[in-house]
């Protein structure tokens, strides 16, 4: 019953409106007058005693991305730069909203030079050199495919250029891991710039995903992509939309934080009561969903029906134009040649164990495939759990230290 109610919230926003395209518009178009108390990455870091920086990165196809950085303190020894990239409908904020033990602050406290990416289309990266996201559909004609082909390489190059380092380490959460695999398949030369890849439930195919909510929502958007875009619905679940604004308003009330808001997370993923604190839950829904394109959501809708990790399927005729073949080509996971460590939770309903087992079987250099000891560990725990440091970071740190072979270009 709860799943159905949440789907109606996201899909319709009104039980009386039976026109699904009009109803989806209510979901994803920003609404006036909804409460908001959002703090940005810089403010959240400052509240926790860290001085953060904001950088701008321009991709080869003109998207202007925001990258945040927490530089190492003056008493820290220099380490290999670390690039951390968020998941679907998230932003760099997801790594800092859970307080002093948030992943971003744990890494910064341990003296890593931490860079936090924001891919095209979220509220930090909603700009382009020539396209207007409010006027030009072309701005929104992207999916995780373009993130991997353009966004991730641009961020890697920027971090290396700025720090004068020769290589970096990369942590990818969910979509941030899937886009990394895409980059390696399309631009295998970037493997030489990465010492180590750490995947936190990296998302590729979703054939076995158990999330009823995700399967319904993404499947619906995939089926309706053309009429949605024709109706001017190019952006999904942006800040200020009905879904984000309603969840923020509800979860701000203490009475609902530990009940309704926990149930929302459980409906999307699986129940793990107490893992995400009430304060983190409140802050989560101030920041998420962070927005993406209709095409990207449709792309995930395609992924739930495929046993391979494929490029976006434009349809027979358009595939011939774009790819030169009738069917979308498969990404080559074997081109992810650097050392890899993968973390996964047994109760992850979004990235199912069987899908991730398949990914790991394709990768040529897996150092360790870590199943979290807590049997209730789910997809959201990978970024938001209060137990992140003790449950996950201890193993992660071992590999980050092993592959901390900092080499500065100026020192060669």
Mind listing the pLDDT tens digit for each residue in 360-405? 999 999 999 999 999 999 999 999 999 999 999 999 999 999 999 7
Q: For residue 287, what pLDDT is reported?
A: 86
Structure-model confidence comparison of residues 28 and 182, the more confident one: 182
pLDDT tens figures, 70-96: 999 888 998 999 999 999 999 999 999
Mean of the per-residue pLDDT values for the chain? Answer: 89
Active-site entry in 98, 174, 179, 241: 174
Look at residue 359 and tell me whether its pLDDT is greater than 90. Answer: yes
Structural domain boundaries in the chain: 2-404
Confidence of residue 49 (pLDDT cuts 50, 70, 90): very high
Tokens of 286: 């101030």
Q: How confident is the model at residue 291 (pLDDT cuts 50, 70, 90)?
A: very high
pLDDT in tens, 124-136: 999 999 999 999 9
Say what the pLDDT of residue 263 is: 81
- Segment holding 185, helix H or strand E: helix 175-186
> Quick count: other Cβ atoms within 10 Å of Cβ 201?
29
Quote the pLDDT of residue 34. Answer: 42
Q: Which of 109, 206, 272, 379 is catalytic?
A: 379
Which CATH number applies to 2-404: 3.50.50.60, 3.40.50.1820, 3.40.50.720, 3.30.950.10? Answer: 3.40.50.1820
Sequence-ordered list of residues with C-beta below 8 angstroms from that of 378, at least 6 positions apart, any chain = 269, 270, 272, 275, 345, 347, 348, 349
pLDDT score at 20? 52
The answer to whether 379 is a known catalytic residue is yes
Q: Which residues contact 5 (CB under 8 A, 6 or more apart)?
A: none
Q: Measuring CA to CA, which residue among 393, 2, 338, 40 is closest to residue 200?
A: 393
Asked if residue 93 lies in contact with residue 44, where contact means CB atoms within 8 angstroms, the answer is yes
- Report which listed range, 211-215, 285-289, 309-313, is most confident: 309-313
Q: Model confidence at 346, in pLDDT bands (50, 70, 90)?
A: very high
The yes-or-no answer on residue 174 being catalytic is yes
Which residue, among 103, 124, 111, 110, has the nearest Cα to 42 in the 3D structure? 124
């Amino acid at each position: 019953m709860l799943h159905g109610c949440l789907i109606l919230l996201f899909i319709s926003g009104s039980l009386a409106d039976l026109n699904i395209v009009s109803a989806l518009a209510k979901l994803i178009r920003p609404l006036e007058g909804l409460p908001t108390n959002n703090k940005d990455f810089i403010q959240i870091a400052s509240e926790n005693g860290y001085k953060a920086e904001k950088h701008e990165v321009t991709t080869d196809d003109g998207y202007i991305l925001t990258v945040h950085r927490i530089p190492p303190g003056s008493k820290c020894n220099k380490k290999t730069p670390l690039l951390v990239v968020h998941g679907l409908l998230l932003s760099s904020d997801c790594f800092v909203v859970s307080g002093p033990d948030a992943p971003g602050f744990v890494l910064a406290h341990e003296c890593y030079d931490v860079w936090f990416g924001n891919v095209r289309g979220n509220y930090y990266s909603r700009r382009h050199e020539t396209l207007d996201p409010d006027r030009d559909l072309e701005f929104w004609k992207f999916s995780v495919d373009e993130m991997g082909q353009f966004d991730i390489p641009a961020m890697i190059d920027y971090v290396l250029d700025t720090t004068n380092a020769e290589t970096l380490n990369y942590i990818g959460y969910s979509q941030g891991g899937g886009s990394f695999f895409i980059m390696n398949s399309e631009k295998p030369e970037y493997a030489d710039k990465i010492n180590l890849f750490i995947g936190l439930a990296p998302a590729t195919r979703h054939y076995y995903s158990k999330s009823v909510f995700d399967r319904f929502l993404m499947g619906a958007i995939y089926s309706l992509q053309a009429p949605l875009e024709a109706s001017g619905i190019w952006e999904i679940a942006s800040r200020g939309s009905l879904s984000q604004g309603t969840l923020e308003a509800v979860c701000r009330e203490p009475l609902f934080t530990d009940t309704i808001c926990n149930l929302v997370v459980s409906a999307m993923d699986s129940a793990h009561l107490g893992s995400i604190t009430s304060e983190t839950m409140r802050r989560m829904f101030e920041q998420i969903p962070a927005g993406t394109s209709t095409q990207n959501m449709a792309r995930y809708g395609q992924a739930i029906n495929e046993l391979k990790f494929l490029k976006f399927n434009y349809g027979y005729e358009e595939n011939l134009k774009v790819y030169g073949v009738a069917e979308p080509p498969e990404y080559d996971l074997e081109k992810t040649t650097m050392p890899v460590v993968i973390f996964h939770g047994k109760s992850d309903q979004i990235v199912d164990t069987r899908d991730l087992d398949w990914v790991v079987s394709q990768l040529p250099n897996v150092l360790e495939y870590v199943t979290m000891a807590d049997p209730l560990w789910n997809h959201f725990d990978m970024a938001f759990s209060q137990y992140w440091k003790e449950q996950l970071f201890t193993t992660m740190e071992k590999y980050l230290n092993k592959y901390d072979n900092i080499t500065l270009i100026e020192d060669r």
